[in-house]
Amino acid sequence: MLELDETDHPTELLKGFDSYLEGEFPKHGQKWEGCTHLYFPVCSRSHWHVVEVDIAKSTMFIYDPDRSYSMDDQIRSNLKPMITILHMLLKKNNIVIDTPAIERMTTTSIQSNS
């Protein structure tokens, strides 16, 4: 589990994030109300991972079949700002989750091109 202390949590989101929560941006966005899963990309040392957030389980699943690119500590460090923003976004929708557990999923297929 990734631990964050109180100093890691800013108190307010920038105004631009409201448009994401309301589904106004991007063009075909949806309101976050009732959201159960979120997906976003994370880049670590020029290597991309897909992250799935299961809100009910308070768990982040990192899909990356190639363990040679990043060490777990490196990925956790790269996710820290995303977790902070995630907490703030969900709090605006009256959804409170614990600091999510992080699980690395290595059973997905490897992308064959660069």
Taking the C-alpha atoms of 104, 70, 47 and 56 in order, what is their torsion angle to the nearest 10 degrees? 20
Side-chain half-sphere CA neighbours of 44 within 13 A: 23
Domain ranges of the chain: 34-109
Q: Each residue's pLDDT tens digit in the chain (114 positions)?
A: 444 444 555 556 666 677 777 777 777 777 777 788 988 888 777 777 889 999 889 899 988 777 666 667 777 787 888 888 888 888 877 887 888 888 888 777 776 766
pLDDT at 14: 66
pLDDT of residue 4: 45
Q: What is the predicted pLDDT for the residue at 1?
A: 41
- pLDDT value, residue 52: 93
**Angstrom distance (rounded) from CA 96 to CA 99:** 10
CA nearest neighbour of 76 among 7, 8, 6: 8
